[in-house]
A and B are shown apart, each in its own frame.
Chain A
């Protein structure tokens, strides 16, 4: 566990991160100076549509970007050390899997089919906790029990193809727990799961967060899941951060026009199709993104200033900088 870091203190701070991708068609401006703070013990939702840069953000944190990516500026401070300045070797040895671990969308392809579930979890235990084989086995069984897998002894001996999707996802969490990580990055972990399995999975994460002070960066496009599990939420649009707030504030009192549109286009809030709001236009291509606020061509509140000046994140009064929004005219949004 992190020494000297209390609940609610910043664990990871992303500052003015700017990333370009060089492609055949041109330079994709994937991240445009994003700022994000993940605090100890919280489940922080990172939400946005395809191509908004949410996955790029998480991959950068772990130094897993493709070769054509160019970091153009910014910092990622993890417990006050800049991850972007760290050497690959150090990153691999001290950060990846150890301090920060990640679960991906597809649990099937994330597990190695030729080893049993138990062996794969033991791998992490041996690496990060205890080299003694017998004790390691016991730790693995404890971890499997902790993620609420029924009959850990049985699961230990099973190969991935013998487990259901939900069970595989839990084995993944057990693996991550075995690394004793402080920060878990979950990239669309329930998108491929059924609702009943998803509900069980979310419960497991919640319990782990409360019992172990685990910090989770939860990346998803599903507004309902975010409202279910997250404490704080950051909304991204076309490589820019649009709004960050506590989950209640975000859903009850969204400030940014895009956040509002997003919330109102999700079925569930309203039941009739006629009541759905739609955001006009489509997500822009990031090779030639709109100037200023990247949302301005689709925004009904946009004025001249929006296309010229990029808005910065400003705090909503009375919210202690816990609710920040990146919009010139957020006060006018109804």
Chain B
């Protein structure tokens, strides 16, 4: 790192080459994040599990040994066997197949909920943090109000009043979980606001919109990603819980919540239904958490900078 070079005059440089290098740089920055991420074994395992889950969800029709809706009254509540690896439920449907199809619903719900709540939360958090004053005051009071809501009861009420299907439940949970995004975004924005580079951006004449999109957003992004990976499992848990309580996905569509619900009635003599489905939920939740932890650590050094 030699600092004392010629002070004047342009060196002979290949402009094309420089443009190429600039493009390459973006990827190498991602490689660095990946290198750090790789070091965290738990995060790697979590990510692998999630990929497996996504694979299973996408290819459920091919992978599942049975139609998840096909009933067989003769073979109800069976223990695991060669025909049915995880056993059957109270209507004789294959548990493994239902679990696979259930993953589709679980991931779909998780993604939509995080998308909805992330979109709302980040936007409001950015507004609250950058504008401040009464806007901040109003938004944060709304957040407080939402945070003191009992999610499940609100979800049931909301879902029931809108007909109890899948989408009302997604909306209900999404409307509740956005607060975390808003709070984290606003907190980060307030910290970044104190940084001199924001003042520097104003000094070169950046517009308000540019400052938000080019300076605030990229710097809060690492936090948002982490919140998303934490909110994803809780969204899955909430929707499973609502399912369990009887709102949400309509039977006979396979969903993990409904499966736990059904299984719980026969828990004393056929525990496999509850345990297997419960395990699927736990593993998914943990996988997301591990990946989130890893991502946070991997993204952090870039954000903090330092010498």
Contacts and interface: CB of A to CB of B under 8 A. Distances in A.
A281 interface: yes
A25 B4 CA distance: 26
B18 interface: no
Contacts of A278: 4
Contacts of B4: 278, 280-281
B1 interface: yes
Interface string B1-29: 11110000000000000000000000000
Contacts, number: 8
Interface string A198-227: 000000000000000000000000000000
The range of chain A's interface size is under 10
Contacts of A280: 4
A280 B5 CA distance: 9
Contacts of B2: 281-282
Nearest to B36: A24
Nearest to A297: B2
Contacts of A282: 1-3
A278 B2 CA distance: 14
Nearest to B4: A280
B274 to A, nearest CB: 45
A280 B2 CA distance: 9
Name A's interface SS: loop
A328 to B, nearest CB: 24
A5 to B, nearest CB: 41
A73 B95 CA distance: 66
Nearest to B301: A24
Nearest to B3: A282
A26 to B, nearest CB: 15
Nearest to B39: A24
A280 B6 CA distance: 12
A281 B1 CA distance: 8
Contacts of A281: 2-4
B116 to A, nearest CB: 39
A271 to B, nearest CB: 23
A282 B3 CA distance: 7
Contacts of B3: 281-282
A282 B307 CA distance: 14
Interface in A259-297: 278, 280-282
A282 B1 CA distance: 7
A281 B3 CA distance: 6
A278 B4 CA distance: 10
A220 to B, nearest CB: 20
A274 to B, nearest CB: 14
A282 B4 CA distance: 8
A17 B17 CA distance: 48
B39 to A, nearest CB: 9
Contacts of B1: 282
A110 to B, nearest CB: 23
B31 to A, nearest CB: 16
B85 to A, nearest CB: 45
Interface in B25-81: none
Interface in A211-253: none
A278 B3 CA distance: 12
Nearest to A282: B3
B221 to A, nearest CB: 23
A183 B168 CA distance: 72
5 contacts: A281-B2, A281-B3, A281-B4, A282-B2, A282-B3
Q: Which 5 A-B pairs have the closest CB atoms?
A: A280-B4, A282-B3, A282-B1, A281-B4, A281-B2
Given A280-B4, A281-B2, 6 more contacts: A278-B4, A281-B3, A281-B4, A282-B1, A282-B2, A282-B3
